[in-house]
Amino acid sequence: MSRNWNLIAVLALGVVIGAVLSNLLFGSGRDSSAGNAPATPGTAADENSFPAGSIVVTVSNVEVTPPRTRIQSIGTGKAAQLVHLTADFSGTIEAIQVQPNTFVGAGDPIVTFERRTQEILLESAKAELEKDQASYERLQTLSDQNSTAISQSQLDVARAAFAASTAQVAEAQYEYDRRVVRAPFSGQINLNDLTIGSYIQQGSEIVTLVDASSLFVEFSVPETSIEKIQAGVSVRLTTPALRGRVFDGSVVAFDTSVDEEFRTVRVRAQVDNSDNLLVPGMTFSVSIASIEQPLPRISSVSILWDHEGAYVWRVNSDNQPERVNVILRDRIRDDVWVEADLKDGDRVIRDGAFKVSQGSRIAIDVVGAVPGSSDG
């Protein structure tokens, strides 16, 4: 009998423990909604804070500012003047007046070729000239004295011989002088392998003369940037060879047609290099910044599209949405410049714009979303 009472006591104790555990585990979940404080009015989490049936949106203010676009490209430096001096005759080098990397002025001698033959021909031509000149002057003197000892035809022959001798001297002098190769402009002599006694074939390169006091940088831009390229537009140049240095230049020329294969336009900018820091052949990063007329600037998430094109929802003074068609003109990250009937300070629906239609009831979330975020 006592054994049965013990069993009943154990079962009763189990029921009590089970009830306590059930209350601990599930009772708090049933009462949690009643125990929490009500949501703070005006926050996005409190759905009851907005009028029933309204579409909750956030807005941003329109700013009318000039778009500042930046065109990036890679270019190659070229000397403003560069010439490969070649020999238009064959000959042996007799003297070298300059060394590699030296600067020369316009007209300075660079290389002299052996010219003994030309010297002999020049002296012979000069001697012939002296003879023909003396003969012509003697006959001219007699003619001036009305002498009957000479005829007019004799005088004409002497005059022609004198003129021919004068031309022969000029030709011999030219052949003699051209054996000295001179710099056509001021610049620097490139590395070369010239040695005295070397025989140079006609048409062979003698030296390369470079004027890099200013440098041309040629690069390409996409055809969509043609309207931003004009002579005089400023460019900023950097090169990996001189890290941390920025060089300012300007556009001096550009192609008038688009490359059909790559759809690009070749552009040439010029940069001062009077300190000779830059070397032709360097690679440059090119940046062109252009500031245009002020346009309305809005967030990219405000823009919607349909069969009529791009548009935004503007909130009027009665807090009603109005459709405004826009034409996109420029973009930098999340900012878009548009042509539209928008004024500085106008409110444009930002987050939630895709839910809005003409005549919709909207409620503006004064807290708003995190900048740069979108619900659509």
Domain containing residue 256: CATH number: 2.40.30.170
Query: Which CATH number fits the domain that encloses residue 305?
Result: 2.40.420.20
Q: Of the candidates 269, 291, 313, which is a domain's last residue?
A: 291
User: Which amino acid, residue 18?
Assistant: G
Report the DSSP pairing between strands 63-65 and 283-291.
unpaired
Are 270 and 76 spatial neighbours (Cβ–Cβ below 8 Å)?
no
Query: CA 322 to CA 316: how far, in whole Å?
Result: 7
Phi/psi of residue 26, nearest 5 degrees:
-115, -20
DSSP codes of every residue in 160-182: HHHHHHHHHHHHHHHHHHTTEEE
Residue 219's CB is within 10 A of a number of other CB atoms, namely: 23
- pLDDT, residue 13, reads 52
Read off the tokens for 120.
């002999």
For residue 366, name the pLDDT band (cuts at 50, 70, 90).
low
Instruction: Name the pTM for this structure.
Output: 0.56
How many separate domains does the chain show? 3
Range of the domain at 127: 87-200
**What pLDDT, on a 0 to 100 scale, did the predictor assign at position 371?**
41
166 and 95 in a common domain: yes
Mean pLDDT of 97-101: 91
Give the span between the Cα atoms of 79 and 217, in whole angstroms. Answer: 9
Q: Which of 96, 84, 109 is nearest to 194 (CA)?
A: 96
Q: Report how far residue 248's alpha carbon sits from residue 234's, in angstroms, rounded to the nearest whole number.
A: 7
Side chain identity at residue 127, one-letter code: A
Whether the per-residue pLDDT at 54 is higher than 60: the answer is: yes
Spatial CB neighbours of 342, under 8 Å, sequence gap ≥ 6: 62, 64, 296, 298, 312, 314, 324, 326, 348
Residue type (1 letter), 133: Q
What confidence tens digit (pLDDT) does each residue in 12-24 have?
555 445 544 444 4
Query: What was the pLDDT predicted at 6?
Result: 52
Least confident among 19-23, 33-37, 236-240: 33-37
Question: What is the mean pLDDT of the segment spanning 65-92?
Answer: 90
Residue 67, pLDDT above cutoff 90? no
Angle in degrees, CA 295, 300, 64, rounded to 5: 20
Q: Which of 158, 178, 200 is the last residue of a domain?
A: 200
The verdict on 281 and 305 lying in the same domain is no
Structure tokens at 305: 């599209």
Query: Mean pLDDT of all residues in the chain?
Result: 84
Whether the predicted pLDDT of 314 surpasses 50: yes
Residue 229 pLDDT grade (very low, low, confident, very high; cuts 50, 70, 90):
confident
Q: How confident is the model at residue 47 (pLDDT cuts 50, 70, 90)?
A: very low
**Are the beta carbons of 211 and 79 closer than 8 angstroms?**
yes
Q: Using 50, 70 and 90 to split pLDDT, how confident is the model at 26?
A: very low
Give the end of a domain, one of 291, 315, 341.
Answer: 291
Q: Dihedral (C-alpha) 105, 111, 113, 114: value to the nearest 10 degrees?
A: 100
